[in-house]
Structures are given as C-alpha cells and as structure tokens.
Amino acid sequence: MTFGKFLSDRLGRITLWLVCFAAAALFLAATGTQIGVLAILLLILLSVFLTVLGTDYLRERARLRELESILESLDEKYLFTECVPSADRLYERCLFDLMRRAGQAMIGAVSDARTAQMDYREYVESWVHEVKAPITAARLICRQAEGESRRKLDFELAQIEAHVERALFYARAESPERDCVIRPVSLSEIVSQAVESHRTLLMQSGVRIETQGLEHQVYTDKKWAAFILGQLLQNSARYRGDTPIITISAKPFAKQIQLTIQDNGIGIPAHELPRVFDRGFTGSNGRSRGGATGMGLYLCKKLSGFLELDIQLASEEGAGTCVTLTFPAKENLTKL
C-alpha cells in the first residue's frame, strides 16, 4: 500500500477535516482572535492531524505486510483466515470473522466436491473393468464369424475398447499421482504395446508401421506413455491418406530422447493448429470423417504435462502430421 493510495482512500475524511479547520478559523477570526494566535492554533491542529494520519498509515502498512507474509508462507492459501493473529480493532476482528466463516463454508464445499470426484473416478474405473469382460466375450464370439462380418465386428469392438480406455485415463487424469510410476523403460516396449493395443484398427485401415532407433531407454510410466502414443496412432489411422504409412523414430536430443510419430495423412489446416490440444476440439477433419470426440489430443497434452513430456505437433494440410515427444533426462525429473 502506497501513501498516495492511503490518502486517496481517506480523501473524504481529509476534506471534512479541512472544512472544519476553515470553519473554526473563520469563527475565531469573527470573534476577534488575533491573527498570530489563530495561526498558532491552526498550526497545532494541522500538526496533530498529520501525526494521526501518518501513524494510521504506518500502522496499516505494517499490518498489511504482516498479513502478506503469513499468506506467502502458507502452502494452502485458503487457510489464511485460520492463521491470522487476532486484530486490535473491532471492525477488523468482525471482518476476519466473516471471512473465516466464508472460508470454512468454501473448505466444506471443496471437500464435498473432492469426495464426489473421487467417487466418480472409482465408479468409472470399476465400470471400465466390468465392461472389458463383455468386450472380451464379444471378441471370442466374433471369432466364430467369417469374412466381412468378422472384420467389421473386430473393428467396432476395437473402437469400443479405445473409447473405454480413453474414459479410464480421463478419470485418472484428475489425480494421476495415484496411478503413475516413473521408471526406466525401453522405447521399443512402449511402441510395441501401443501398436499391439491398436493392431485391429491399424490393420483394417491398411496402415504400415515403420520404426527406427527405438533402442533408447527413457524415464516415464510405460502404461501412460503407451496410451499417449496410442492416441496418436488412432489419429493417424483415422485421418489417413491413400497409402497410409506411420513412421516412429527416436533420437537423442542433448540428454533427452525425442520420439517422433510422422504420418502421411490428410494433415490439419493451419488455422486449426493452435487449438488441436483444446478439450472437445474436433476440427474440420473430425466433423467431415465423424467419430471424433476431441478428447484424444487433449488427454495427450494433459498426461504429458504430468509425465514432464514436451509434446509438439506440426502439420501441413494434404502432406501429413508430425508429433514429437521429448522425454526428460533423469536428473531433470521432479517425480522420480
């Protein structure tokens, strides 16, 4: 708080005091008080007024600095009113009492929301595990079919599995620390798991996978990294060109490792690139081909942030899309 703002806040009070001084001076002058005496009285009153004003400013500035120091020292800022020492003035005590009551109500609401969120997540996870059983059963039944019917059923079941998996990771993304474990893992294992999980979609889309340089080891969560890569593979298969090829390659980048997923699909219009990681954004390609949820790349970005992966996307309409995942060096990880 600056002295100028302090004076501005008390402008009305200062104006009233000055009017009172002027009225008193006029009254004393009208009653015959000598000019010298009048000047001394006004000087004394002005001195007292400025002293009181300056004292108020210094006291309030010190109080604000004390409160700011308490707030900055707290990890949980919403507990501020619970940690503030008792105030001297009645108005401030009443004000903090109101704030404390409001804070307690907010803490209760947040606690209820977190409980509801946890219950929802647990329900989704339970539902996902339960729904996998009939999907597996449907796959076994599907094996009895032949020809085109079997191919179509395999494709639709693969799509259902992809949506179910996305729902599971969306629920887990709200508190990823409960499920995520960072450890050294081979890039080839991550890529193999992602490709195998989406083998039906890739085969029926006629996509050819080419890999190179995957002998590197990275520090990440294998399951989460495979999910991110799987979302990118799904996008490449969905927005493929006439002879779809996906090239997955890796190379060292300083102490980091860069994994590149390059396709030769239909690409993304330049004006849509800034929004591809936005939640629910499907773009013109998603609307024209259908089936897009706008959640795949959003989850990739969200989960990459927790895994401390840098994800960059470049695309040219009609020429394909390239996504680069940069895995952090071991010494730079904060969650290891």
**pLDDT tens readout for residues 56-77:** 888 888 888 888 888 788 777 7
Q: Of the candidates 148, 245, 235, which has an alpha carbon nearest to the alpha carbon of residue 206?
A: 245
Higher pLDDT, 185 or 37: 185
* Residue 272 confidence (pLDDT): 87
Assigned CATH class of 183-332? alpha beta
Gap between the Cα atoms of 193 and 257, Å rounded: 19
Q: Of the candidates 264, 247, 254, which has an alpha carbon nearest to the alpha carbon of residue 209?
A: 247
* Residue 259 confidence (pLDDT): 93
> Residue ranges of the domains in the chain?
3-105, 183-332
The mean pLDDT of 178-206, rounded to a whole number, is 87
* Residue 189 confidence (pLDDT): 92
> For residue 145, what are its two tokens?
């079919």
Residue 217 forms beta bridges with which residues?
186
Which amino acid does the sequence have at 41? L
> For residue 68, what are its two tokens?
């700011």
Mark 305-321 as b/e (b = at least 16 C-beta within 10 Å). Answer: ebbbbebebebebeebb
The mean pLDDT of 107-116, rounded to a whole number, is 82
| pLDDT over 80 (residue 9) | no
* Residue 190 confidence (pLDDT): 92
* pTM of the entire predicted model: 0.65
**pLDDT tens readout for residues 267-323:** 898 888 888 888 888 878 777 766 677 788 888 898 888 888 999 999 988 889 999
Model confidence at 97, pLDDT cuts 50, 70, 90, reads confident
| Residue 282 and residue 293 in contact, taking contact as beta carbons nearer than 8 Å | yes
| Residue 259 and residue 187 in contact, taking contact as beta carbons nearer than 8 Å | yes
Chain-centre distance for alpha carbon 138:
38
| Residue 266 and residue 317 in contact, taking contact as beta carbons nearer than 8 Å | yes
* Residue 290 confidence (pLDDT): 67
Sequence-distant (≥ 6) Cβ neighbours of residue 90 within 8 angstroms: none
The mean pLDDT of 130-134, rounded to a whole number, is 80
Gap between the Cα atoms of 183 and 189, Å rounded: 13
Neighbours of 15 (CB within 10 A): 10
User: Position of tokens 């887990």?
Assistant: 172
Mark 45-59 as b/e (b = at least 16 C-beta within 10 Å). Answer: eeeeeeeebeeebee
The H or E element spanning position 258 is strand 256-263
| pLDDT over 80 (residue 37) | no
Higher pLDDT, 330 or 223: 223
**pLDDT tens readout for residues 159-186:** 888 888 888 888 777 777 777 788 899 9
How large a percentage of the chain has pLDDT more than 70?
98
* Residue 335 confidence (pLDDT): 64
DSSP 84: P
In this structure, the strands spanning 208-212 and 245-253 are parallel
* Residue 261 confidence (pLDDT): 93
* Residue 56 confidence (pLDDT): 83
Gap between the Cα atoms of 130 and 87, Å rounded: 57
Whole-number mean pLDDT of the chain?
83
Torsion of CA 19, 23, 26, 29, to 10 degrees: -120
